[in-house]
């Protein structure tokens, strides 16, 4: 049975977060920057214990988990830098202008302030980078919002160890108790997002889970912003010319990307449209047949994968190829590829166009590049879309332009001649996209812009400089 916090634990966490917020909201960005760095250093210090317990719980392996912890630590330092420079305040100063038209203008000084306590749900597939101390928690704390995190039942001990380390580090930086708390359980989460003292929510996980919490957040007497990142099919479009020039390399790259981490990435390429690709499909099938089965995050995730895979096979006209399925045990996922002609896709669309969490991809064979563009109009909202084409060929350049026109509507990131797995934490990154990839296409959950989700503007009108509190200053004059 997954752990479930008591109502008392939940109410205590919320009350302490509310009290902490009344202090955190007037903390300087410098102070909070020190908290983030303090936590980053504490995570580094406990690296071996963290990786060991996470590996026991998720079977992701020490190599991958160490890399993920690197990224998590890097992210805390990066957010610390961003806020120390006060960039996130987006301050705008406009001195008063008695001669402004159509009427005199008072002095206006805009800056961003934190929303209040934020509830965060950790994901199953990245216990560090998207877990209870991942990007959502780091960006909310950077903004100045206390966090009440809800652990994923797939790795409770990892979550508890993370919470213990972070709370220790926060305590050493003199942050108030209540700045970060950890809770557990589905009913607890539902009550948490309905609590009047919680002012925003952030979630990474399944569509069903994200939607349920989103619906509660929006049906409150006072609706609150709720950000959910829920994965997607991440379509891939491969032109005839690309297949001719680099078919073998693309086939290998696709199988590597789709089976990376046993297909448990929200950016896994799951729906591939290829033009004139009979040989290409054979290459992919051959490679998939040789992918070794590997343990998935939890037994129930492995069981869900098998169920979804068989639903996709039995309710569509696709031809299926498996990796040595017989050798896989209950906890393992074995790779699979479903192949369908684009003319047969319409009838199987509803079952094949939804995400399958695991090492499965659907390949749609098209007769020509123009079909790629037709299907690009249909694909559902995704975190990413990928194009493989020849950058030199004039026809391909025209196809790429048409694909970009369509895909900007449905994808948060468009990749040229690369693969969507692996999301750099950097200023220009966007990790988001239209529904059903997220519940709000305007925001990202990776990179420093993620901090913007937990801030709101306030304009101070007619205030003399000395009456604007110290913690609100640090603005840049308007150019």
Find the shortest distance in angstroms from Cβ 368 to a second copy. Answer: 20
Q: Which of 413, 421, 445, 451 binds a second copy (CB under 8 A)?
A: 413
Contacts of residue 111, defined as CB under 8 A and 6 or more positions apart, other chains included, come to 89, 90, 91, 92, 457, 458, 460, 472, 475
Find the shortest distance in angstroms from Cβ 308 to a second copy. Answer: 20
Smaller CB separation from a second copy, 18 or 152: 18
Does position 400 interact with a second copy (CB under 8 A)? The reply is yes
Does position 71 interact with a second copy (CB under 8 A)? The reply is yes
Q: Which of 266, 285, 366, 406 is catalytic?
A: 266
The region of 30-38, 78-86, 118-126, 462-470 touching a second copy under the rule CB under 8 A is: 462-470
Smaller CB separation from a second copy, 78 or 155: 78
Here's the x/- map for a second copy, 109-138, by CB under 8 A: it reads as: xx--x-xx----------------------
Q: How many CA atoms lie within 13 A of 45 on its CB side?
A: 13
Walk across the sheet containing 226-229 and list its strands.
180-183, 147-150, 118-121, 200-204, 226-229
Does position 436 interact with a second copy (CB under 8 A)? The reply is yes
Residues 236-275 binding a second copy (CB under 8 A) are none
Q: Which of 25, 77, 246, 308 binds a second copy (CB under 8 A)?
A: 25
Does position 177 interact with a second copy (CB under 8 A)? The reply is no
Number of C-beta neighbours around residue 187 at 10 A: 11
Residues 77-106 binding a second copy (CB under 8 A) are 92-94, 100-103, 105-106
Radius of gyration of the chain (CA): 24
Find the shortest distance in angstroms from Cβ 270 to a second copy. Answer: 18
Residues 437-456 binding a second copy (CB under 8 A) are 439-442, 444, 449, 452-453, 455-456
Does position 351 interact with a second copy (CB under 8 A)? The reply is no
User: Is the CB of residue 478 less than 8 Å from the CB of residue 91?
Assistant: no
Give how far the C-alpha of residue 421 lies from the chain's centroid of Cα atoms, to the nearest Å. 12
Q: Which of 68, 151, 229, 285 is catalytic?
A: 229
Q: Which of 176, 260, 318, 411 binds a second copy (CB under 8 A)?
A: 411
Does position 474 interact with a second copy (CB under 8 A)? The reply is no
Smaller CB separation from a second copy, 217 or 339: 217
Number of C-beta neighbours around residue 296 at 10 A: 31
Find the shortest distance in angstroms from Cβ 116 to a second copy. Answer: 7
Residues 195-224 binding a second copy (CB under 8 A) are 214-215, 218-219, 222-224
Does position 430 interact with a second copy (CB under 8 A)? The reply is yes
Q: How far from each other are the two terminal CA atoms of the chain, in whole angstroms?
A: 58
Task: State the pairing for strand pair 108-114/92-94.
Answer: antiparallel
Find the shortest distance in angstroms from Cβ 72 to a second copy. Answer: 11
Known catalytic residue at 229: yes
Active-site residues, by number, are 229, 266
């Amino acid at each position: 049975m997954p752990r479930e916090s008591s109502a008392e634990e939940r109410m205590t966490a919320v009350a302490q977060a509310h009290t902490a917020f009344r202090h955190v909201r007037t903390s300087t960005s410098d102070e909070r920057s020190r908290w983030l760095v303090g936590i980053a250093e504490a995570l580094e210090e406990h690296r071996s214990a963290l990786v060991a317990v996470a590996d026991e719980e998720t079977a992701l392996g020490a190599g991958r988990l160490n890399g993920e912890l690197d990224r998590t630590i890097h992210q805390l330092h990066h957010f610390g830098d961003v806020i120390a420079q006060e960039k996130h305040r987006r301050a705008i100063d406009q001195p008063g202008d008695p001669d402004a038209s159509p009427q005199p203008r008072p002095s206006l000084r805009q800056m961003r302030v934190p929303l209040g306590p934020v509830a965060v749900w950790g994901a199953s597939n990245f216990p560090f980078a998207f877990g209870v101390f991942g990007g959502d928690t780091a960006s909310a704390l950077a903004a100045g919002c206390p966090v009440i995190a809800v652990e994923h039942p797939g790795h409770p001990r990892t979550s508890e160890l993370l919470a213990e380390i972070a709370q220790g580090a926060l305590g050493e930086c003199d942050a108030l108790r209540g700045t970060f708390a950890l809770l557990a359980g589905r009913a607890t989460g539902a009550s948490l997002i309905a609590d009047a003292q919680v002012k925003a929510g952030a979630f990474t996980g399944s569509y069903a889970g994200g939607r349920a919490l989103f619906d509660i957040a929006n049906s409150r007497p006072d609706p609150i912003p709720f950000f959910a990142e829920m994965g997607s099919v991440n379509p891939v479009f491969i032109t005839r010319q690309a297949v001719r020039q680099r078919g073998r390399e693309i086939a290998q790259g696709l199988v590597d990307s789709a089976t990376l981490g046993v297909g448990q990435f929200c950016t896994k390429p799951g729906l591939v449209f290829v033009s004139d690709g009979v040989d290409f499909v054979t290459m992919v099938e051959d490679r998939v047949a040789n992918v070794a089965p590997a343990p998935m995050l939890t037994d129930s995730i492995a069981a869900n994968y098998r169920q979804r895979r068989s639903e996709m096979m039995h309710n569509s006209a696709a031809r299926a190829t498996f990796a040595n399925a017989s050798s896989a045990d209950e906890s393992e996922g074995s790779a699979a590829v479903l192949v369908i002609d684009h003319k047969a896709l319409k009838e199987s669309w509803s079952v094949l166009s939804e995400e399958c969490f695991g090492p499965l991809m659907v390949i749609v064979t098209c007769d020509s590049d123009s079909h790629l563009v037709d299907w690009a109009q249909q694909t559902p909202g995704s975190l990413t879309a990928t194009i493989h084409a020849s950058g030199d060929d004039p026809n391909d350049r025209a196809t790429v332009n048409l694909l970009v026109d369509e895909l900007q509507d449905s994808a948060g990131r468009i990749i040229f001649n690369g693969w969507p797995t692996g999301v750099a934490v950097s200023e220009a990154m966007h990790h988001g996209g239209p529904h059903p990839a997220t519940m709000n296409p305007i925001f990202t959950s990776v990179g420093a812009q993620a901090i913007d989700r937990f801030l709101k503007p306030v304009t101070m009108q007619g205030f003399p400089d000395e009456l604007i509190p110290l913690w609100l200053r640090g603005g840049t004059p308007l150019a």
